[in-house]
Structure 1
Amino acid sequence: MLIDIILQAGRAGIEFSLFVMLPIMIVMLFLMRLMEAHGWLDWIVHKLTPVLKPFGLGGLGIFAALQISFVSFAAPVATLSIMDQRGTSQRQIAATLAMVFAMAQANASFPMMALGLDIGLTLLLSLVGGLIAAAVTWHLIGRRLPDKEAPSPDKLNHATVSGGKGLLDVINAAGSEAFKIALGAIPIMVLSLVVVGLLQRSGSIAWLTTALTPLLTLLHIDPVLVLPTLTKYLAGGSAMLAVMSELHRAGQVDAALINLSAGWLLSPLDLTGIAVLISAGRRIAAVWKYAALGSLVGMAVRIVGHVLLG
């Protein structure tokens, strides 16, 4: 049984990394490297930094927010990788990562529109929660992290695009960087999927659902949400989406319940999401705990918002 679980987890982890994450990373990193080579990235960072500074974010934070909201939970890896290489301070990296952790990921939120999710409200609360998470991390949880920029060669000497060869160099560099990131995410992702498989095969999830039912009933929370919640935090948003689709098809959840639970079901703060996002670089991985704690505040705001407005 264990070997079967390991092989299934390995297949799923490699398929996700190479056939889902890698193409997204290649496109995202190519676009960002192209903007960097033309000087557009520096211009945007310069213009937006004063606006986002109260939240502890730099101009690159807007890219991370757009990527998590409209592409997928893996897309911000491109922005985080750029921040790591350009020497962005660890304090600002933690604030940006907290924002990403607290926001709703597009790869789950948009498909859930078909199940009745109010996407407009979800995106609004996602942005509010993300900004609050960033501010809390910057001003409170991560205030003792280094706030000094660490200049790197990439920051001082950008690539340039002059003719076909320059463009080809940018494409090749982005592809090589994306491949390295995708491969780096495989080990932790496979291990997390093995844990999920063991819990499912052992009946632990079914047992936990039964054990929590009295408490959840007392709190007026439908016990049917236990399975998608555990699946989300152990296996990620895509796995949760599959479970919710089955429950919706079986008539066990409706649009009201989906909107009610969106605050804690739609975010990359899970084993898979953390594994993918911290693969962006060593300095990203060093601050993920600060970011995770800060993101809980933003998620709490989102949960309250969905309960009151959903």
Structure 2
Amino acid sequence: MDVISIILTSGRSAVELALFVLLPVMVIMLSIMRLLEAAGVMDWVVARLAPVLKPLGLTGLSLFALLQVNFVSFAAPLATLTTMERKGASDRHLAATLAMIFAMGQANVVFPLTAIGLKLGEFVILSILGGLIASVATYYVIGRRLSCDGNAVDSPLAHPTIDDPKGILAIINHAGSEAFRISIGAIPLVALSLVAVTIIKDLGVFGWFETLLTPLLNALHIDPILIVPSFTKYLAGGTALLGVMVELQHGGHIDSHLVNLSAGWLVHTLDLVGIAILISAGPRVARVWKPAALGALVGIFARTAGHIILN
């Protein structure tokens, strides 16, 4: 095994992924999102839809988190969760919101995957439905014993406006800087994950799992090629998954049909990296992560079934 060659190849793949796939997509999406925020469109949407989503165990800021994870990145709702805890949202609302975030697909993975065939409209609709199912399951069933004592959190987050002295150009530049930080920050994790995955593969571990699980997977009509991205996703996170999926697609091992078929199972924020980052929002958020994770599994199962039915 040539470890140096593996490191160089993985590093080059990580840099190419970050600079030529992730960065352009994130610059455009973040610029659009920040301009909509500055124009007041996001606040208008939250104000109109928050009452509709209240029976689902969500607040106004929960809706803002929904938009952030679907159109910015998996880490974007971190500040929203912190604000909800600081403003006194109940444990039950925090758990429902966290379950919703866990169950939905993160934009920093979703939009780059469209380059290899992911159906964006279908994915976003199923992502939001899965998130809402997760919040309902958590609020009314799994987390029903959590405290309901707290404040209604419906006020919007502070953000720049179009009328600010620095104007639209400053908002776009800030969005570009934010996109650059997200993209460059993904390089170490993607590179390390690709190195680990390649070494494990060369050692024959994935081959052993494939041999062990292939009869079961074939009986369930599941392609064994999903073993590698599944292990990568749940251990190293969505950005690492993106690197593996792009590599598999370039190697001709997966096609757009398989990407869409497996999107519900593979593309969401419920993994070790996502849990670790999101529960850092605050002590009460960390305290409710277990019921939130269980509720998220319900939403992920619903999303997986939806993708299978539609593809």
Question: Under a length normalisation based on structure 1, what TM-score does the superposition of the two structures give?
Answer: 0.72
Quote the offset at 1:151 in angstroms: 9.7
Partner of 2:141: 140
Q: 1:75 to 1:58 in 2, by over 3 A?
A: same
| Structure 2 alignment gaps of length 5 or more | 5-9, 166-177, 183-188
Q: 1:215 to 1:76 in 2, by over 3 A?
A: same
Q: 1:200 to 1:82 in 2, by over 3 A?
A: farther
Partner of 2:271: 270
Quote the offset at 1:204 in angstroms: 3.4
| Rounded Cα–Cα distance in structure 2 between residues aligned with 1:299 and 1:51 | 22
Q: 1:55 to 1:250 in 2, by over 3 A?
A: same
Quote the offset at 1:199 in angstroms: 5.8
Q: 1:48 to 1:308 in 2, by over 3 A?
A: closer
Partner of 1:168: none
Partner of 2:113: 112
Partner of 2:243: 242
Quote the offset at 1:205 in angstroms: 3.5
Q: Is 1:100 the equivalent of 2:101? A: yes
Quote the offset at 1:45 in angstroms: 6.3
- Percent identity over paired residues: 51
Partner of 2:287: 286
Give the partner amino acid of 1:86.
Answer: K
Whether the 8 Å contact between 2:46 and 2:63 is mirrored in structure 1 is no
Q: 1:79 to 1:301 in 2, by over 3 A?
A: same
Partner of 2:205: 204
Quote the offset at 1:246 in angstroms: 1.2
| Rounded Cα–Cα distance in structure 2 between residues aligned with 1:307 and 1:289 | 27
| Rounded Cα–Cα distance in structure 1 between residues aligned with 2:295 and 2:116 | 30
Q: Is 1:296 the equivalent of 2:297? A: yes
**Superposed counterparts of 1:122-137, under 5 Å:** 122-137=123-138
| Rounded Cα–Cα distance in structure 2 between residues aligned with 1:262 and 1:86 | 35
Partner of 2:170: none
Partner of 2:84: 83
**Deviation per CA, 1:197-251, whole angstroms, max 9, x where unpaired?**
7966865334222311121122211111100111011101111111111111111
Q: Is 1:307 the equivalent of 2:274? A: no
Give the partner amino acid of 2:142.
Answer: I
Give the partner amino acid of 2:275.
Answer: I
Partner of 1:227: 228
Q: 1:47 to 1:280 in 2, by over 3 A?
A: same
**Deviation per CA, 1:241-271, whole angstroms, max 9, x where unpaired?**
1111111111111111111000111101001
**Superposed counterparts of 1:170-189, under 5 Å:** none
Whether the 8 Å contact between 1:91 and 1:147 is mirrored in structure 2 is yes
Give the partner amino acid of 1:238.
Answer: T
Partner of 1:185: none
| Rounded Cα–Cα distance in structure 2 between residues aligned with 1:108 and 1:211 | 30
Q: 1:95 to 1:250 in 2, by over 3 A?
A: same
Q: Is 1:260 the equivalent of 2:261? A: yes
| Rounded Cα–Cα distance in structure 1 between residues aligned with 2:277 and 2:203 | 27
Partner of 2:214: 213
Q: 1:231 to 1:150 in 2, by over 3 A?
A: same
Give the partner amino acid of 1:214.
Answer: P
Quote the offset at 1:47 in angstroms: 5.1
| Rounded Cα–Cα distance in structure 2 between residues aligned with 1:53 and 1:94 | 14
Partner of 1:186: none
Q: 1:304 to 1:116 in 2, by over 3 A?
A: same
Quote the offset at 1:129 in angstroms: 0.7
Number of residue equivalences: 267
Q: 1:214 to 1:283 in 2, by over 3 A?
A: same
| Rounded Cα–Cα distance in structure 1 between residues aligned with 2:205 and 2:136 | 37
| Rounded Cα–Cα distance in structure 2 between residues aligned with 1:40 and 1:283 | 30
Give the partner amino acid of 1:61.
Answer: S
**Superposed counterparts of 1:54-93, under 5 Å:** 54-93=55-94
Give the partner amino acid of 2:215.
Answer: P
Whether the 8 Å contact between 2:64 and 2:80 is mirrored in structure 1 is yes
| Rounded Cα–Cα distance in structure 2 between residues aligned with 1:41 and 1:66 | 9
Quote the offset at 1:86 in angstroms: 0.9
**RMSD, matched Cα:** 4.1
Quote the offset at 1:48 in angstroms: 4.1
| Structure 1 alignment gaps of length 5 or more | 165-177, 183-188
